[in-house]
């Protein structure tokens, strides 16, 4: 490393940092990160909603303990998450009773589940081992926009079609 890299006087080529033009060039950058942050914030709600949907499908209701167990958290954490779901109008519950999803919550859970499947399928389609695909999709899915999701679906549909059906060239 340089002798004194921390001395600004010799570091920056220009103090004004090319503010003309470079500013709007990097104007989209914060937006990207803000979108990523927003997606991350929605992640937990989406995961819990989907999980509750799964449990209801399996057992007819979702219990805090089961949610906590499957999410790998303690039960107070699950309780807090459920409280947030309630606040957002995604779930309903009564003290010491099971947790259920509102229509909105169910719709969300359905969308999340479908998206998850699509992401896993795409990963597998491009050569990711099934197990790894499941793992990675869990985190990735929350950042997949509608546009990207549709692109995935199109791609999967395309490669799903028999190769000889519509290939322009004989190959």
Partner DNA sequence: ACATAAGTGTAGCCACGGCTTCATTTCGGC
Partner DNA sequence: GCCGAAATGAAGCCGTGGCTACACTTATGT
Ramachandran region, residue 46 (left: φ > 0; alpha: ψ -120 to 50; beta: rest) = alpha
Q: Where are the beta strands (DSSP E) in the chain?
A: 91-93, 99-101
**Cβ 85 to its own copies shortest distance, Å:** 15
Q: Which of DNA, its own copies, none binds 75 (CB below 5-8 Å, type-dependent)?
A: DNA
Q: Which of DNA, its own copies, none binds 104 (CB below 5-8 Å, type-dependent)?
A: none
Q: Which of residues 76-95 bind DNA (CB under 7 A)?
A: 76-77, 79-82, 84, 93, 95
Measure CA of the first residue to CA of the last residue in the chain; give whole Å.
Answer: 55
**Cβ 171 to its own copies shortest distance, Å:** 6
Q: Which is nearer to its own copies, 11 or 161 (CB)?
A: 11
CA distance 91 to 61: 12
Q: Is 139 in the site for DNA (CB under 7 A)?
A: no
Angle between helices 103-125 and 130-140 (to 10 degrees): 130
Q: Which of its own copies, DNA, none binds 142 (CB below 5-8 Å, type-dependent)?
A: its own copies
């Amino acid at each position: 490393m340089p002798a004194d890299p921390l001395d600004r006087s010799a570091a920056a080529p220009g103090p004004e940092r090319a503010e003309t033009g470079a500013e709007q060039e990097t104007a989209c950058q914060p937006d990207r990160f803000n979108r990523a942050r927003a997606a991350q914030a929605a992640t937990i709600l989406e995961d819990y909603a989907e999980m509750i949907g799964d449990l209801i499908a399996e057992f007819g209701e979702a219990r805090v303990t089961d949610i906590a167990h499957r999410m790998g958290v303690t039960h107070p954490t699950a309780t807090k998450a459920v409280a947030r779901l309630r606040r957002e109008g995604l779930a309903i519950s009564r003290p010491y009773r099971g947790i259920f999803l509102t229509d909105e919550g169910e719709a969300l859970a359905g969308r999340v589940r479908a998206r998850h499947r699509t992401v896993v399928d795409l990963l597998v389609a491009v050569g990711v081992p099934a197990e790894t695909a499941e793992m990675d999709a869990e985190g990735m899915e929350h950042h997949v926009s509608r546009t990207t999701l549709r692109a995935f679906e199109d791609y999967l549909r395309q490669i799903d079609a028999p190769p000889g059906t519509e290939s322009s060239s004989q190959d």
